[in-house]
Structure 1
């Protein structure tokens, strides 16, 4: 049996867990074959159901009783975090645009105007008081951004409201609120899902987007070895919104992690500060994140599948699984 492999998904709405797991597994297997590990890829496809799991938590963001702003933006502190998140994202897009070597033609000038407008709206949202005010201004920012690539044409962000709903999942997690009847906060319930997926065995963990935040925090309370932690398209180093709110502080590599590889794409709008080693303290064994750039084709490069299909990502996962298998056998 192949050593355990645990996937942790990121932002987004409800999904079919079986299909999601199959898509991630298939993409990783393609990357393994391209990396020169065809036998490991074949085993992954054949034994995936037994050795691979997905820590699923998207359903925890659904609030059946919520209406209006609460359904999209959460409550209390989450609203202001959402506003600050939009400010940081727009600022990052503006910085990238100003530093671009593209010719300053009509298209460049149009993008400049759109980003300036989005920046003004985002700053206003960051100063807003009250949930509906924040939500309205966040929707204005989203509407403006969706006029730009890569936001324009993203199928799962068909409307500004869906975009805000998904981005708000980051703020709702970091707000540490939305307690259930037992007093357990939303973020704790999400981490509990990952602990359940990990079980009491060593596991290779591959986390994407918001899932990288969940994985980092959950693994601080996980006693078993993690031969390899892989983070994809991570927002962990967003210095205004995410990094100051991570637990524990200062942000550090969990003690059981034996290797950490962080992958980012130059066009990934969520990984706005991709070099995690600048902001994450190594653990007692000296293990810290090592960031590597990967470049995918297409308009929307943030998807987990595009990262997993990269040989640079899948190769180390194949090697870690093989090494863990040999270690278990001996």
Structure 2
């Protein structure tokens, strides 16, 4: 039974395959506890792992993508021009981001890979003339090329660009706002319902979201009526220009009304993340809240995982402080 006044902590995952909600909840909490200890909050570790500091829920919506595929409404083949155009724009933004990172570091090898990947992108108007499945094949090859960069080569999470494209396509499937069920509720509506399911508007709600989950959380919190002391976005594609930002609801995008603080974290080596432009592109809510963006630097291959972000003391510290309030 919930204790009155106990904060609610909701984890919102991003792209990927089917989830083990209980297992991932545990993994996110363990990572957060490590980050909290490093941030000087060792006293909060047992409270996080044993559940008395906050009521913690892992909002799992991964089965909604799988269900749509099983019913014949997916996976995306990108045969429709609108879908192909979106994914081409989205993948192109990832190529541009990688090239930008390489230029800043003077990394010629990565710059050459990005140039090769850019040369493979479909040109303007080509997607409508290609045969069935061709845009998907081409974009999969572009991503396979990107995975040859020194920082991503050998990454066990993605053996090639094709499975990565399947997962990145979840962003487009959410934003196209279709795939309705028998009740007429579109995929994006059902995903947002999962995030807010069981939340109590009479108690503080703290949301930690990652990747696609940052887009979902941003839109879901518009419907939440209770206090949100902290919204945390990790590895967010929200600032990926027209590909994502201009498809958000509402337009122009603004911080959800009940959010009291928004912390946005990006890793320099996270190819899925747009540069820290979010605070410039997001209008404030009535309280004047806009995203505060900070950079973190993780070690190892493929830094686009929620647990890598949560282990950072700069991420875990303010999160624990919000829970202790």
Among 80, 83, 86, the residue aligned to 2:91: 86
Change (3 A) 1:48 1:207: farther
Q: Where do 5+ consecutive residues of structure 1 fail to align? A: 103-107, 324-330
**1:229-240 pair list within 5 angstroms:** 229-240=231-242
**CA distance in 2: counterparts of 1:56 and 1:302, whole angstroms:** 18
Change (3 A) 1:60 1:149: farther
Secondary structure in structure 2 of the residue aligned to 1:156:
coil
**CA distance in 1: counterparts of 2:105 and 2:217, whole angstroms:** 33
User: Which residue does 2:280 correspond to in 1?
Assistant: 278
Q: Where do 5+ consecutive residues of structure 2 fail to align? A: none
Among 12, 19, 43, the residue aligned to 1:8: 12
User: Which residue does 1:248 correspond to in 2?
Assistant: 250
User: Which residue does 1:120 correspond to in 2?
Assistant: 119
Secondary structure in structure 2 of the residue aligned to 1:124:
coil
Secondary structure in structure 2 of the residue aligned to 1:271:
coil
User: Which residue does 1:99 correspond to in 2?
Assistant: 104
Change (3 A) 1:182 1:74: farther
Q: TM-score, normalised by structure 2?
A: 0.91
The number of residues matched between the two structures is 315
Secondary structure in structure 1 of the residue aligned to 2:264:
strand
User: Which residue does 2:190 correspond to in 1?
Assistant: 189
Secondary structure in structure 1 of the residue aligned to 2:75:
helix
Residues 78, 174 of structure 1: 8 Å contact kept: no
Change (3 A) 1:149 1:168: farther
Change (3 A) 1:167 1:126: farther
The yes-or-no answer on 1:40 pairing with 2:44 is: yes
**1:188-267 pair list within 5 angstroms:** 188-200=189-201, 201-267=203-269
**CA distance in 1: counterparts of 2:263 and 2:147, whole angstroms:** 31
Residues 8, 56 of structure 2: 8 Å contact kept: yes
Residues 140, 162 of structure 2: 8 Å contact kept: yes
